[in-house]
């Protein structure tokens, strides 16, 4: 990788929930994709973890913005500010003076030309001279060590914050794919809704996310059961504080419909897969990446439904970022886009 004081090369996984940046094979930023903005000046006051701590706790003069929704840029200005602030964090750590930037950024496989343009423009406005893009499922496959250029079929299911990306890859190309907006953010919303309906408790996004991480499950009978999570919040009717123990079986029940949508999409992609590649997939199994892959029992549920083994990748949260980093080092990959 060509690197000097005058050129800085960054691999960016610009995710709905988290942004991960690699430089020189080293992870230099791993922060929530959120920015806190001063309403009066329009300037960012915090980004990443510090901004997330302010989320749903801000004063009237500060608003927190999650610039990405469903895997794509929803707020262009906030995205640009967020990327710029993350790059400043790297420059501070490395003490490098305003180098020119080359970036490889990953995007959902279902991105339209307008959405691709938004990513390119936000990256260029934040200081990049040269921007290339890679589709998320391809980056995820690279990141977990699959041979994406080989003449055989590989299937990947990447469950991120905003989208679930399902793709069959062969010879460095995506043969069949689907990108659906049922993913981590939807799971969080469904937990909030379930607690409102079942317990009359109102909880924020951060608490619902904690519940998902601590006791989130896709099946109601786990090999290693987890203890119930004690939820505290205001009663919707009286606003008095209440506590309720929530079991993992309840979370499995409330996420059932969303997981069924992911199952249907996996079957849909398999239906579009050529027979020779299909047989490769049956032999090798299907690989799960993204934060959603950490949902307890998800691999078992999908394997039982689809009758093909599912494998949860090692460190699935960072698979896309690692793959983007590998693409940054090899500019000859045929799947890199400008």
User: What is the tens place of the pLDDT at every residue in 173-223?
Assistant: 999 999 999 999 999 999 999 999 999 999 998 899 999 999 999 999 988
Same domain, residue pair 11 and 54: yes
- According to DSSP, the β-strands at 310-312 and 286-289 are parallel
Average pLDDT along the chain: 88
Reported as a pLDDT band with limits 50, 70 and 90, residue 4 is very low
Same domain, residue pair 87 and 23: yes
pLDDT at residue 241 is higher than 70: yes
Give the H/E segment covering residue 180.
Answer: strand 173-180
Identify the DSSP state of 13: E
Inside any domain, residue 224? yes
C-alpha–C-alpha distance, residues 217 and 331, integer Å = 39
Q: What token pair was written down for 152?
A: 């055989």
pLDDT tens digits for 242-300?
Answer: 999 999 999 999 999 999 999 999 999 999 999 999 999 999 999 999 999 999 999 99
Same domain, residue pair 115 and 233: no
Same domain, residue pair 121 and 159: no
* Paired residues of 243 in beta bridges: 232
Same domain, residue pair 162 and 300: yes
The confidence score (pLDDT) of residue 207 equals 92
Q: Is residue 257 exposed (0-12), middle (13-18) or buried (19+ Cβ within 10 Å)?
A: exposed
pLDDT at residue 59 is higher than 80: no
Q: In this structure, is the dihedral angle defined by the CA atoms of residues 238, 240, 241 and 242, taken in order, positive or negative?
A: negative
The confidence score (pLDDT) of residue 306 equals 94
Number of domains within the chain: 2
Give the H/E segment covering residue 32.
Answer: strand 26-32
State which residues form the domain around 170.
148-313
pLDDT at residue 97 is higher than 60: no
Residue whose C-alpha is closest to residue 157's, from 270, 256, 238, 81: 270
Give the CATH number for residue 47. 3.30.420.40
* Paired residues of 102 in beta bridges: 9, 130
- pTM score: 0.88
Same domain, residue pair 167 and 274: yes
Inside any domain, residue 134? yes
Q: Is residue 40 exposed (0-12), middle (13-18) or buried (19+ Cβ within 10 Å)?
A: exposed
Q: What token pair was written down for 289?
A: 């990446």
C-alpha–C-alpha distance, residues 123 and 80, integer Å = 7
Inside any domain, residue 184? yes
Residues 6+ apart with CB under 8 A from 226: 214, 215, 217, 248, 296
The confidence score (pLDDT) of residue 1 equals 42
Same domain, residue pair 39 and 165: no
Inside any domain, residue 336? no
Inside any domain, residue 205? yes
Question: What separation, in Å, do the N-terminal and C-terminal C-alpha atoms of the chain show?
Answer: 18
**CA dihedral in degrees (107, 108, 114, 117; nearest 10)?**
10
């Amino acid at each position: 990788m060509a690197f000097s004081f005058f050129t800085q090369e960054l691999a960016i996984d610009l995710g709905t929930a988290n942004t991960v940046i690699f430089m020189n094979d080293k992870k230099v930023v791993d922060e929530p994709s959120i920015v806190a903005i001063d309403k009066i000046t329009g300037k960012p006051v915090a980004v990443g973890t510090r901004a997330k701590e302010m989320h749903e706790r801000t004063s009237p003069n500060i608003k927190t913005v999650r610039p990405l929704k469903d895997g794509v840029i929803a707020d262009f200005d906030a995205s640009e500010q967020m990327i710029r602030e993350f790059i400043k964090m790297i420059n501070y750590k490395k003490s490098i003076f305003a180098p020119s930037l080359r970036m490889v950024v990953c995007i959902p496989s279902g991105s339209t030309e307008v959405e691709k343009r938004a990513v390119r423009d936000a990256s260029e406005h934040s200081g990049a001279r040269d921007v290339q893009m890679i589709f998320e499922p391809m980056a995820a496959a690279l990141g977990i060590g699959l041979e994406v250029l080989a003449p055989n079929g590989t299937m990947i299911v990447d469950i991120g914050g905003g989208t679930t990306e399902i793709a069959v890859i062969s010879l460095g190309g995506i043969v069949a794919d689907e990108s659906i907006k049922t993913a981590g953010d939807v799971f969080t919303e469904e937990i909030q809704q379930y607690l409102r309906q079942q317990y009359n408790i109102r909880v924020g996004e951060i608490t619902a996310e904690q519940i998902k991480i601590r006791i989130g499950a896709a099946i109601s009978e786990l090999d290693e059961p987890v203890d119930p999570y004690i939820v505290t919040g205001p009663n919707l009717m009286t606003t008095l504080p209440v506590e309720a123990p929530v079991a993992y079986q309840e979370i499995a029940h409330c996420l059932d419909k969303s997981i069924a949508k992911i199952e249907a999409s996996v079957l849909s992609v398999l239906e579009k897969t050529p027979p020779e590649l299909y047989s490769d997939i049956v032999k090798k199994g299907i690989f799960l990446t993204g934060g959603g892959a950490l949902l307890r029992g998800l691999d078992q549920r999908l394997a039982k439904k689809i009758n093909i083994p599912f494998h949860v990748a090692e460190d699935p949260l960072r698979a896309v970022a690692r793959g983007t980093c590998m693409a940054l080092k090899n500019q000859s990959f045929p799947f890199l886009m400008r």
